[in-house]
Structure 1
């Protein structure tokens, strides 16, 4: 442990305007002096799916950012990025230098839009899909044939699986260790499980066993990856905006707005964030 004062940890919920909704994130606005062990210890004590640690650069509104779950560091986290930008209480562009690359954030009071690193997506091998289905206790017939299984990247890697019915998505009872093993073996952080509600509206659930978390109520990195996935499938012939509802089945409803363009591999994810009352 470093001999530095314990930093203040702010607590925000992202992709919601209600502290009882969204995905909680810890935010350390100045983590100068903390080492990896210190950040992991703080993230474990906070207990949220991620805590963001900001290291201010000499240039104004420029930060190196690290993201830790209670178990591991992850290369990028969207909900903690939105929470951090709102916690900074600035208006305009903020630049976050993450392990995955530069993420620019357009910040405003109570709201932020992050523009991801370039996204990518590729079909998941049949063996990975079969292993995922076993872990999820689903069958191949549960999957929506319009949306093939992919490994998708939007700052972190995610397994995208789409199901035919909302009922199948709602009934989630998976093998924690088996899914964690598959995700780790593929350098991925969550499974992005989706159902198309209407043309531009999707419901999503994101198991996060790699981080020691059963499920994320909102996953901005997976939303960015999903935007890139749609682009790879040729479903973004013009600038497209989609809405993702997540966290509903956990009682923490979240709203993620995703903007994708056919001529830009980056994806913009927008959402609100609010402080979580302490005590």
Structure 2
């Protein structure tokens, strides 16, 4: 098997956690010069994480990078956890401060600052978001693919499609038990998401006034569930602003607990600025010293 990850010098980071065994693993290639689309996809597929970020330095600006994101199956326009991972990786090498990532969704400023202990944290500012209704037939199909019933939804958090760099269908479970019991038709949900140009489903349950437990099926990326999803967190912030009039708020999203990879995502809304800020720590994942199995 071709060792694309070694050839591309892939770094491995866990985002939205201070524990390498928590949060969401991401691949990071700090200089993807010379890697074509097929090679970037092959690297992401070989690594097997939900996303890998590929950076190209912008000439004349040591803190600006063109960034592309690949899942094991396809490219996505924006990925929050890989953005946080890449920003922290850069911060460890060139110092904390402001970065600018030019993504397919648009420019994304990222601020790298000291985090708890010896870690670094990154705060991304999304592109301008928007929220749109879900067609009744699409909602029916999504619920059928999930095995959910409409009466199991939280009426105070109605279904919507939210965008803050990538599109996500927001569905709110009325109970934590409904959120915890996630077993869905992978191919059926992937087909619907492809038709609607969705990146993940943002499944949420409100646990407090400003706290939520969330889960994100990601079959279009070849992943059953994403452990911590910054792009969906940004979209969810836009959703709450649109539906509940939040203008100045700090939200806490807990994700990954059901997978044994707990992570915490902080979502910030600011008055007068429609963009959403998502913050989290990231740490390097030590390489496994054991040899990989052939195959």
On the 8 A contact 1:123/1:148 being kept in 2, the answer is: no
Q: Give the alignment's TM-score, normalised by structure 2.
A: 0.91
| CA distance in structure 2 between the partners assigned to 1:121 and 1:180 by the alignment | 21
- The aligned counterpart of 2:71 is 69
- The aligned counterpart of 1:91 is 96
Aligned length: 275
1:264 is displaced (CA, Å) by 1.5
- The aligned counterpart of 2:245 is 235
Unaligned 5+ segments in structure 1 are none
Alignment of 1:1-279 (within 5 A): 6-58=7-59, 59-88=61-90, 89=92, 90-109=95-114, 110-236=120-246, 238-279=247-288
Residue deviations 1:101-127 (CA, integer Å, cap 9, x gap): 000000124210000001111111111
1:263 is displaced (CA, Å) by 2.3
Residue deviations 1:127-176 (CA, integer Å, cap 9, x gap): 11100100000000110001110011010000000010001000000010
Q: Give the alignment's TM-score, normalised by structure 1.
A: 0.97
| CA distance in structure 1 between the partners assigned to 2:207 and 2:28 by the alignment | 33
- The aligned counterpart of 2:291 is none
1:12 is displaced (CA, Å) by 0.2
1:60 is displaced (CA, Å) by 1.8
| CA distance in structure 2 between the partners assigned to 1:176 and 1:121 by the alignment | 25
262-271 or 96-105, larger mean C-alpha shift:
262-271
Q: Deviating runs (4+, > 2 A) in structure 1? A: none
| CA distance in structure 1 between the partners assigned to 2:179 and 2:30 by the alignment | 36
Q: CA RMSD in A?
A: 1.2
Unaligned 5+ segments in structure 2 are 115-119, 289-295
For residue 198 of structure 1, give the secondary structure of its aligned residue in structure 2: coil
1:261 is displaced (CA, Å) by 2.5
- The aligned counterpart of 2:293 is none
| CA distance in structure 1 between the partners assigned to 2:227 and 2:245 by the alignment | 26
